[in-house]
A and B are shown apart, each in its own frame.
Chain A
Amino acid sequence: MSKNIKVEDLYELWIENEEVKLPDSSVFSSSSSYLESRKKEICGKCVSCRDGIPFVKNLVDKFSNGKANANDLTIFKNIVNNFRSSKCSVGLDTGKNMEVVLRNNFDAFQDKVK
C-alpha cells in the first residue's frame, strides 16, 4: 500500500485492486482536502453534487474532530451512495472515490464514532 495514494485515483485503482485504501493516519485529512478541491468544480445545478459535496466534507471533518455519532455514520453512507444520482462526472467521480474510502477505510470512521 503506497502512502502516496490520492483520493481522486482511488476508484481507478480499486478496479485493479479491491483492497486499495488510504493510510488510516491520513484518511480524514486526505478526504477533507479532496472534497474541498471538488467544491470548485461544482456547477450548482443538481442537488446530489451541489449540496452533497459540502455536506460530506463537513461530515468528514466531524469524524476527524471526534464529534461524530453512530447516526452520522449512517448518514455518511447514504449521502456518499447518493452521489450515484448526480447529473455529471463531478458528482459521480467524487462519489465513486468516496465509496472506496468508505468501503476500505470504514474502520477508521467507525473508530472515531463517540
Chain B
Amino acid sequence: MAKSIKGYIDGKAVEVNAGETILSVARRNNIEIPTLCHLKEFNEVGFCRLCVVEVEGQKDLISSCDTPFEDGMVITTNSKNVENSRKSVLSLLASKHRFNCFVCPKESECTFYDRLSDQDVEITDFGSSKGRNIGIIDGPAIVQDLSKCVVCKKCVSVCANVSATKTLKFHDDLGADTFVSPTKGLTFAEDGCINCGACLKVCPTGTLQVKDDTAVLKNLLKGDENTVIAQVSYETIYALTERDKVETFEERLNIVLELLETLGFDYHISLDLGTNMVIEKQAKALKKHLESGSKTPLIASDYSFAKYIENFADELIPNLFSGKSEHLSQAVAIRNVICEEKGLDVSKVKIVSILPTIGAKEEILRDDNKGLIDLVITTNELALLRRNVKFNNQSKARIGIDTSIKKLTIKPLIEGYEKTNPTITDAVVNEVFKAKLSFQPIDDKKFSKLSIANINGKGIIKAETGTGAKQLVKYLSETAGHNIVYVVANGTTGGSMNGSGQPLSKEDFFTVLARRNKLAAELKAEVRTHTSNDELNAIAGKVADDMLKTSFKKNNLRK
C-alpha cells in the first residue's frame, strides 16, 4: 500500500498507510502506547481509553487504537495531560476491581496489574473494592468471576470471531452497570460455550479462568486409600519444563515425575496407549468410510469442535468419528485390562488426566464417559502446584517424603514413553493412504480457518476453531462432490501446544507456540503407527470396540 500521508508522533516524522490507526503507526515506529482493551483486528474499539493521545489543535484526547491517522496530524503520546488521563482511567477501573491477587489464578500474568504498575497508579486513593459485580458463573471448565472484570470486551470479540459461538455478551442496557457474561440466567454450556478457551487467553485480569480443581486433586491424593494414576500428555511435559535449564526429554520427564511424586501420585503413564487406540479406530473408521462411497467426509475432531457441531451444526453429527478421545480410551484400558494385569484393585483406582486443554474437564462428565476418569487438571494447574511446592521448600518433608532420595518411587504403569511427535492425523493418513500430509491454505478469505491437502484425488481438510467449524459447513455445501473424504478439526484456541490449559504467558502467542514446538521437535519425527509397540498393542487388543464408542446429541442452540 502506498505511504502517502505524513505526520508527527512525539516529534518524529512518520509515514502512514491509508486507513492506518494512530496506534499502528506508533508501534511501527517503536513508539510505545499502553493498551488494555486493544486486540488487533478483533477489538479495536477504544473502550478503555488507556491509549489516548493528544492531537495538536484539539483539547479533547482521542483514543489511538480506533482513530485513523489523518494527513498532517501532530500527535503527542506522553504529555502531562495524557499521563494524568491514563492514571485516571486505570484508577477508575481499579475502583471497581476486587484485588484478591494472592489467590488469583492469573498470578504474575495479569495485564491489568502490569498497567497499574507501569503507570504508577496509587490504588489506595480509591479504597478497596468488592468489584464491579459480585458473583461467579461456575462451569465445569470455565469460571467467570464478575468482581474482576474491567469490561474491556476482548472476550466478547473472540467469542464471536474466533469461537463463533457468541456465548459471552456485552450487556450495556444498564449503562453505568454494564457487564459481560453469557445470556443472563444461562450457564456457559447452556449458552453454547465449546470450551475453546479463546476468552481465557485474552482476558487481561483473572475474570475468566479455568475451573481450579487443585483442591479436588489434593483431596484425591490425601491418605493411602486411593491408588492415583496420572495420565500425562507430552504437551504438558514440554510446557511445564520450558523454562528449566535441561536438555533432554528424559530430564524434562524426570522433573514432572518428581513433582507428581511429591504431590502423592502412585503411578504415571503417558498417553501413548490411548493415542495408539485412537489411531487404530480412526484409521479403521476412515477405511470403512471410503469403502461406503459416502459423499460427505469423516470428521475427526477434538472435544471443542465436536461440541460446536452439536450446538450449531448438527447436520454434521453423523459425520463425526464416534470413538472416545485418547485419555478416555486409555482409561477404559486401564480400568478393564491393566488393573487386572497389575493386580490393582480397580475400585480404589483414581485416574487423573493432565492435559493442555480445558474441554476435557467437561468431556469426562458426559454420560458415555462417567466413571472413567476422576479428574482432569490442566498443565497450568500443575504449574501452580509446582510453584507452591517450590515456594514451600519444606513441602517434601512436610508431606513425608525423604528429600534426599534420588530414585523416584512413583511407578510407571507401563514402562517408557514412545517419544514420538507426529499427530494422530499423520498416523491415520499414513495408515490409510500410505502418504504424507501437506496442507495448503484455501485461497479464499471466507475460508481463512480451513486448509486442504490432496492425496490421490481425495481431499482432506484441516479446520481450526469454532469459526473453522462455521466455515466448514459452508465449504462442504459449496463444494459438494469435490471428494472431501476426511476432516481433521481442532476447536481449541492454541491447539495442544499453546492451548487454554497450558501455562499462561504474557509473551506473544506465536513466540510461545514456536518455543514449545521446538521442544517437541527434539523428539523423533517419524510417523507413528498404532502397532509399533507390542505391549501397548496387546493391551489395546483386549479392549472391546463398543467400550470405546461415544455418542453425540443435537443441542439445538443454532443462533
Chain A interface (Cβ within 8 Å of chain B)? 39-48, 50-55, 71, 75, 78-79, 81-82, 84-87, 92
Contact = CB atoms under 8 A, between A and B. Distances in A.
Nearest to A57: B176
B178 A48 contact: no
B60 A44 contact: no
Contacts of A50: 151, 175-176, 178
B174 interface: yes
Contacts of A48: 49, 85, 88-89, 92
Given A39-B175, A84-B61, 18 more contacts: A39-B176, A42-B176, A44-B170, A45-B172, A47-B47, A47-B151, A48-B89, A50-B175, A51-B96, A52-B88, A52-B92, A79-B91, A82-B84, A82-B85, A82-B89, A82-B92, A84-B59, A85-B63
Interface residues of B, number: 31
B242 to A, nearest CB: 35
A87 B49 contact: yes
Interface of B: 45-49, 52, 59-61, 63, 81, 84-85, 87-89, 91-93, 95-96, 125-126, 151, 170, 172, 174-178
Nearest to B95: A55
B60 A47 contact: no
Contact of A42 (B93, B96, B175): B175
A38 to B, nearest CB: 10
Nearest to A71: B125
Contacts of B175: 39-44, 50
B21 to A, nearest CB: 15
6 contacts: A45-B178, A47-B93, A48-B89, A50-B175, A75-B91, A81-B84
Contacts of A40: 175
Contacts of A39: 175-176
B49 to A, nearest CB: 5
Among B49, B85, B88, B89, the one with the most A-chain Cβ atoms within 10 Å of its Cβ is B88
Contacts of B47: 45-47, 87
Contacts of B88: 48, 52, 78-79, 81-82, 85
A66 B61 CA distance: 33
B89 A84 contact: no
A54 B49 CA distance: 17
A79 B92 contact: yes
Given A84-B60, A87-B63, A44 B176 contact: yes
Given A75-B125, A84-B60, A85-B60, A43 B172 contact: yes
Contacts of A81: 81, 84-85, 88
Nearest to A90: B175
B176 A54 contact: yes
